[in-house]
Structure 1
């Protein structure tokens, strides 16, 4: 296993508060998936995002890695821009990486937010099947299934200019990097470590998210020493895309200036 080359994306440089470091969902570019939330936070916090291997600005990976190694790659990228203390938030795989970051650098991270994410996502068998599928057929074959998971019924028709670019980005993701991310997810299980977080944990779930249950998300928040749980009504797996104002309000209320 190796630490992947993770690249940071400056999203907003204004605001005098603590920086936010934002993570994406598998198959998305961080700048796109956080685009609706970005202007709602930018007045108060500098914002940085990071892309997964083979996504957006991060180079493709050729060897395997763990979720913890993604987190180490993010920390290296953060160090390169000179950030000291900061808050982290991420969606799905990005949320799991945010949890790993909180465990890895408790002296630097003031708050951790997991959005549509759990400390254990899916099963090793399910992720292995998806990795095999994308190696055989490429990321364009994932578009239809991803659309049904990412968005609540009717969202694509109501907001095509928001949804369609995200699905187009998925087709541009490097196939092998996507498969390696699947395998990292299949091996990741942080359920026993949530209690070890030194900083507050916020868990945000989409009411209609088919990837996880609200009960499991609430249990994750309850397992933390200091945890809070929020449900975004009418949202599916990409809650920051569908309900940016609601997600931004939670982040602003949970993270200190």
Structure 2
């Protein structure tokens, strides 16, 4: 690459160093705000008094249980990210995105006064792939990670290359119909049309070149056999109805990472934080409280 990719940065709740810092990552075609919006309040401000005493005993937990500083990042050309230049997208890799995420984190930490401190991470699909790279490439920076609806390898590169070429030529609206089938479990569109429509609207407006470059990066992502080196707590979260990264993909991650926990959410497909915000928030809070051990 000739230029570090510019990511969108979203400060959901950013206060001070008495609160653990949680970094959220998106799925391809989504903005982090649309994907995680319903879960953020549960992560940032819920007081769970019944569990406060237990949480206070966890050496890695600071502040009141359920109260986290929460920031997110957006892929190039998605959500809050600027329109990417050709230099930013040339040869884009998941490792490049992970490096750029560290830049987003450091800018947020400059406001908190703890630049370089370790943080917690939760990411979906490509955001989960970025989480895997952070765990391997910056092991001293990540306290633990929730890897959600993701994989160590997302399938044959040729399929991703075909999708990338179509989107470069005809735009992201070509992906809306297939995404609606992939992203949401049966019945979700009828039950929660506003949630589904905000996510699909973000896909339609995503930059086609940014989307295509991320497709190529996902196609090249392959960390099979490498996650045994991870030494921090990890929870792998799958959707029982996810056709893109079925539970077996998350089981592979949980089996590879020493001490990792696998959780399959019934009735969820590929965008679990949007479909099951309470369940995902509970699992992430368990991670931060030290209830998932490496």
TM-score when scaled to structure 2? Answer: 0.84
Aligned pairs for 1:92-241 within 5 A: 92-241=125-274
Asked which structure has the greater CA Rg, the reply is 2
Secondary structure at 2:76 match in 1: coil
Q: Separation in 2 of the partners of 1:213 and 1:163?
A: 20
1:80 matched to which residue of 2? 107
1:45 matched to which residue of 2? 68
Instruction: Select which of 27, 30, 39 maps to 2:29.
Output: 27
TM-score when scaled to structure 1? Answer: 0.96
Q: Separation in 2 of the partners of 1:251 and 1:85?
A: 16
C-alpha contact 1:18 1:256 (8 A) present in aligned 2 = no
Deviates more, 1:92-101 or 1:9-18: 9-18
Deviates more, 1:103-112 or 1:15-24: 15-24
Please tell me the root mean square deviation across aligned C-alpha atoms, in Å. Answer: 1.4
C-alpha contact 1:87 1:111 (8 A) present in aligned 2 = yes
1:10 matched to which residue of 2? 11
Secondary structure at 1:121 match in 2: coil
Q: How many equivalent residue pairs?
A: 257
C-alpha contact 2:236 2:260 (8 A) present in aligned 1 = yes
- Unaligned 5+ segments in structure 2 are 46-66, 110-114
2:97 matched to which residue of 1? 70
- TM-superposed deviation, 1:215: 2.1
- TM-superposed deviation, 1:59: 2.1
Q: Separation in 1 of the partners of 2:255 and 2:203?
A: 33
TM-superposition CA deviations, 1:89-141 (whole Å, max 9, x none):
10000010011111122112100111000111122011001001111211011
- TM-superposed deviation, 1:226: 2.3
